[in-house]
Amino acid sequence: MNHDVERKIQQLKKEKNTVILAHYYQLPEIQDIGDFIGDSLDLCRKAANTDAEVIVFCGVWFMAESAALINPDKTVILPDPQAGCPMADMARPEELLKLKEQHPGAVVVCYINSNAEVKALSDICCTSSNAQAVVESIPGDREIIFVPDRHLGEYIAEITGRPLILWPGYCIVHQRILPEYVAEEKKIHPAALVLVHPECPKEVVDMADFVGSTGKIIKFCRESGAKEFIIGTEQGILHQLKKQNPEKSFIPASDFAVCRNMKKITLEKVLSSLETLSPVIRVDEAIRDDALAPIMRMLEIR
Ligand code: 13P
Ligand code: SF4
């Protein structure tokens, strides 16, 4: 059955000059049909550089919306438009406007996990992979508002030594990775390295041997001589880790770190979106230019 659906997907993809971009948190079968799998930054860069006419984005809303902002002339599809990001929805534009009024000289750095209306009020975007470089690119005498992930913001403030004005947002999935779970796994696997995503709460980040984006965690495991790793991020990443490193062992730090929104994309929905070339993600013309500018500024940073 899956095989049949996959075959049709491959056929339609060619016929319709389509690229399938998939995030590491997607279901294994979706990662396996992706033309390109990556973290948020990799996927954003890929969306900016593709020649395909159609982009099927296997991820969540803000990712497809960013791809649509970058590519006004392409058809950008999110196979399930209900695949949102609760953290992105924690930043409301009217509240950000109020905070900006309280800090008129501040530079607004918005995590890519935000909606276009919030990006339109921001100066520069970042992902978990380049947040340090983005913050370090801002002159030292400027105040910085960091929206919406307070855990990533707290971590970046610590490693850059820059005081950031934090937003009270957080990822409901990484919030479920508790320090006691990590301690428990560490007791069972004393030789294992602890790798965590910076969306995790500070107490968890403080226990880590390595902190990085999904892409950086994958690179670290590939290059490391260690054999066991406790993984503190969404469980979809385990598929790629196991596939790339069959001789190493990966232990999830929490059984509850599953993003339901990421899992809304199924093979059947990808096939249906290729058949109908929908649902297309469109951005309100009134905010398009303002929302695109912070993404382009981010992409200029290496
Ligand atoms: P990265 O892919 O940038 O590590 O981000 C994880 C994430 O939360 C995507 O929603
Ligand atoms: Fe949003 Fe967290 Fe899911 Fe990423 S893992 S899409 S931040 S809810």
Q: 93: closest CA among 85, 82, 101?
A: 101
pLDDT for position 2 = 85
pLDDT number for residue 69: 97
Low-confidence ranges of the chain (pLDDT < 70): 1
CA–CA dist 182, 200 (Å, integer): 12
248 and 194 in a single domain? The answer is yes
Cα(267) to centroid(ligand 2), Å: 20
Task: Examine the domain organization and report whether 8 and 78 are in the same domain.
Answer: yes
pLDDT of residue 88: 98
The answer on 112 and 157 residing in a single domain is yes
Q: Nearest C-alpha to atom 10 of ligand 1 is from which residue?
A: 113
Q: Is 77 exposed, middle or buried (0-12, 13-18, 19+ CB in 10 A)?
A: buried
Q: Which atom of ligand 1 is nearest to the CA of 174?
A: 8
Tokens representing 3?
A: 């095989």
Tell me, what's the pLDDT at 236? Answer: 98
* pTM of the full structure: 0.97
CA 81/CA 88 separation, integer angstroms: 15
pLDDT of 1 reads 67
192 CA distance to ligand 2 centroid (A)?
A: 26
| Cα–ligand 1 centroid distance for 181 (angstroms) | 21
Looking at the structure, do residues 9 and 78 belong to the same domain, yes or no? yes
Task: Write the burial class of residue 1 (CB in 10 Å: 0-12 exposed, 13-18 middle, 19+ buried).
Answer: exposed
C-alpha 258 – ligand 2 centre gap (Å) = 9
Total count of domains within the chain: 3
Which ranges of 80-224 would DSSP assign to H, the alpha helix? 86-89, 93-102, 116-119, 131-136, 150-160, 179-188, 202-205, 214-223
- Which helix (H) or strand (E) segment holds residue 81: the answer is none
- Residue 239, SS3? helix
Lookup: tokens for 270: 């990808």
**Do 163 and 293 reside in the same domain of the chain?**
yes
257 belongs to a structural domain: no
Q: Whose CA is nearest to atom 3 of ligand 2?
A: 259
- Distance linking the first and last C-alpha atoms of the chain: 43
User: Is 270 inside any structural domain?
Assistant: yes
Please identify, by atom number, the ligand 2 atom nearest to the C-alpha of residue 149.
7
- Locate the ligand 1 atom nearest the alpha carbon of residue 233 and give its number: 6
Distance CA 22, CA 57 (A): 6
77 and 11, same structural domain? yes
- Structural domain for 15, as ranges: 2-84+262-283
Residues 164 and 295 grouped into a single domain: yes
pLDDT at residue 302 in the model: 73
In contact, 86 and 121? CB cutoff 8 Å? no
Verify that 179 and 43 share a domain, yes or no.
no
Residue 131: burial class (beta carbons within 10 Å; 0-12, 13-18, 19+) = buried
Same domain, 77 and 32: yes
CATH of the domain at 10: 3.40.50.10800
In this structure, the answer to whether residues 117 and 140 fall within a common structural domain is yes
Distance (Å, whole) CA 302 – CA 290: 22
What separation in Å is there between the alpha carbon of 167 and the centre of ligand 2?
16
79 and 91 in a single domain? The answer is: no
CA 162, 168, 173, 178 torsion: positive or negative?
positive
Asked if residue 152 and residue 133 are part of one domain, the reply reads yes
Who lines ligand 1 at CB under 6 A?
Answer: 39-41, 85, 113, 127-129, 197, 199, 213-214
